[in-house]
Amino acid sequence: GISGGSSPGRRYMRRCAALASSTVLVSLVSVTMAAASTRMATNAQVKVPKLIIFDLDACMWSPEMHELDDVPSTYDPSAGGVRAGTDVVRLLPGAMAVARKLLLDRDRFEGVQVAVASSTRYPEWAHTCLDKLVIDAASGTCFSDLVDHREIFPGNKGKEHVPNLARKTGLPYSEMVFWDDCTYGDNCGDVARHCKGVVCIRTPRGMSEDLFEYGLEQHARGRAGVM
């Protein structure tokens, strides 16, 4: 047989294989980018509700107020959250992404009101965290700067918090989407029963961009109740 080095034919075949692999990789990247662009374009076209409602504890931030070691005090940039004794209250990664989306995508969310609905037994602590959690360091924007309405008190969200928001805003329930982790009770179920027309999204692992967009999509499709 032939020994020493490789034949021109084999070198040619290897170059062809390398070129084919490179072409496949470029194609895959192109497909991925196209899919991402399609998702972004689709999201931008989705009809948004007039009122977006977030639960707070375990939906938007952690730890929960009842778990804190002490009273929330000041925002610590090095820790990325509000100091509360030995604890630090931080927005969950998905919640931070959603908050920044609401802040930066002004064309898409123009005219949309944002509310928080929390049944914590420590409302003053929640107000402090809301006022001091920074979502954009460059501008100094805090979470509270996004929020138009606050319903933070112990109670049933379906009978109190969300009806209060309807009275305050004058909006029908069909123009609302509500996200809640439902850890200690089925708040989404309560809201769906008592506030017919609201789209309710459970966030058992906290807010995520996917769950946020899912809620908006369900509203755009005219859905209502727990999704």
Helix axes 209-220, 93-104, angle to 10 degrees: 50
Are the beta carbons of 28 and 199 closer than 8 angstroms?
no
Q: What share of the chain is helix, strand, coil (3-state, %, to 5)?
A: 45, 20, 35
Cα(62)–Cα(83) distance, integer angstroms: 12
Annotated catalytic, 181?
A: no
Residue 85, H or E segment: none
**Spatial CA neighbour of 131 closest among 150, 105, 112:** 150
Does 190 qualify as catalytic in the annotation? no
Instruction: Indicate which residue of 55, 180, 181, 190 is catalytic.
Output: 55
Tell me which of 57, 180, 181, 190 is the catalytic residue: 57
What residues are annotated to the active site?
A: 55, 57
